Amino acid sequence: KNEVEQSPQNLTAQEGEFITINCSYSVGISALHWLQQHPGGGIVSLFMLSSGKKKHGRLIATINIQEKHSSLHITASHPRDSAVYICAVFNFGNEKLTFGTGTRLTIIP
């Protein structure tokens, strides 16, 4: 079993829909990152979470440390949100980031 599991693997939605991407992990962590990888390959860091909830524009990220689960929400989705969203956890024990396999999101106009 992978240390970091994301669901769904692929998600297609209509413009304007509310999107939820989930990330579950099995190790003790000190931080969780959400990344966005554009179709051209570039990677952008969206959020770093160690507890609670963060919001940036139409994006919201939450983490539940006890349940070892995080969610990324996109409100009023837009075709420009189409990308791969990657969850990564920082294992304080071995000081490295471990990545999920990503969720490919496609928003149809």
Partner 1 sequence: DSGVTQTPKHLITATGQRVTLRCSPRSGDLSVYWYQQSLDQGLQFLIQYYNGEERAKGNILERFSAQQFPDLHSELNLSSLELGDSALYFCASSVGVLAGGRDTQYFGPGTRLTVL
Encoded amino acid at 70, one letter: S
- Whole-number minimum distance, CB 28 to partner 1, in Å? 11
Q: What b/e string do you get for 70-101 counting C-beta neighbours within 10 Å, with b at 16 or more?
A: bbbbbeebeeebbbbbbbbbbbeeeeeebebe
Instruction: For residue 77, give Cα distances in angstroms to 13, 50, 73, 89, 93.
Output: 8, 25, 10, 25, 37
Q: Does residue 108 touch partner 1 according to CB under 8 A?
A: no
Q: Does residue 34 touch partner 1 according to CB under 8 A?
A: no
Site residues (CB under 8 A) for partner 1, limited to 65-94? 86, 88, 90, 92, 94
Which residues on adjacent β-strands are paired with residue 96?
A: 91
- Whole-number minimum distance, CB 103 to partner 1, in Å? 12
Give how far the C-alpha of residue 14 lies from the chain's centroid of Cα atoms, to the nearest Å: 19
Which residues on adjacent β-strands are paired with residue 66?
A: none
Among 7, 10, 26, 30, binds partner 1 (CB under 8 A): 30
- Whole-number minimum distance, CB 72 to partner 1, in Å? 16
Q: Does residue 63 touch partner 1 according to CB under 8 A?
A: no
Q: Does residue 18 touch partner 1 according to CB under 8 A?
A: no
- Residues making contact with partner 1 (CB under 8 A): 29-31, 33, 35, 41-45, 48, 50, 86, 88, 90, 92, 94-102
